[in-house]
Amino acid sequence: MPGASNSAPAFGEADLSNCKREQIHLAGSIQPHGALLVVREADAVVLQATANARSFLNLCNNPLGASLEDLPGDLMEQILSLRSEQMRSLPVAVRCHVGKPAAPFDGLVHAPADGCMIVELERPEEPVDVTQSLESALHAIRDSSSFRILCDETARLFKEATSYDRVMVYRFDDDGHGQVFAEQCNAGLVTYLFNRYPASDIPQIARRLYERNRVRVLVDVQYDPVPIEPRFSPFTGSDLDMSQCILRSSSPIHVQY
């Protein structure tokens, strides 16, 4: 069919020939370490929920069609304490209790301009005091005498804070081509330092998402995606725009890569 090669593949249906056009923000599913609710702002009714929401949130019933006010816990109370303008630009963090018996959850709430709120919930980790590490990091960054040293220190500090196997600082040139400009990695790993990659390596759709949401987490590359139900919003009739969602599924071709 003429022009078919230029069509945008749906999420999960891309291959190497068209992955740069894959609609990765329309994932329709999340990673299983959390649960997601889509709530109509006008009456706080749950319009969409991930398939694991009932079990993950310790609920007696499927939350679809229920009001947040009817869910056991204080999720509704915590959301009401937020200002709507806060949620328009960036997700806002809340600590809440949900379920029966009520359990603590860390939440992110954001409200795209379509009359709905997106609520993402994860089980909390043990609190960590980062005061000392932040102070030493600020000193190291402040004392960096060149851009090269600044990037090297940034990679070192981030690896130290996260214990990741590898941390890279990736630099784009004016034409969109990239280079691994700084790196810290565990002994035994092949280094990518100074490797160069063409602009096509990170498609424009992915770059725009990185500009909107600076944090992208893939907890387990072997995960089974949890679908959003129903797939299409009864409010908008379309896929949920998950650009700001921290739980958003990663494209299978990205996971393979």
Chain segment 75-116, per-residue pLDDT in tens: 999 998 887 777 777 889 999 999 999 999 999 999 887 889
Domains of the chain in sequence order: 29-122+219-256 (3.30.450.20), 131-212 (3.30.450.40)
Q: Where are the beta strands (DSSP E) in the chain?
A: 29-30, 34-40, 46-50, 92-98, 103-110, 116-122, 166-172, 178-185, 196-197, 226-229
Long-range residue pairs from 75-81, CB within 8 A, at least 24 positions apart, any chain? 75/105, 75/107, 75/119, 76/44, 78/107, 79/44, 79/109, 79/117, 79/119
Q: pLDDT confidence of 4, banded at 50, 70, 90? A: very low
User: Which of 12-16, 51-55, 122-126 shows the lowest per-residue confidence on average (mean pLDDT)?
Assistant: 12-16
Q: What is the mean pLDDT of residues 15-25?
A: 81
Specify the pLDDT at position 204. Answer: 82
* More confident position, 125 or 36: 36
Q: To which residue do tokens 């994932």 refer?
A: 27
Residues 112-132, mean pLDDT to the nearest whole number: 87
For 42-59, the pLDDT digits (tens) are 999 999 999 999 999 999
Q: What is the pLDDT of the chain when averaged over all its residues?
A: 89
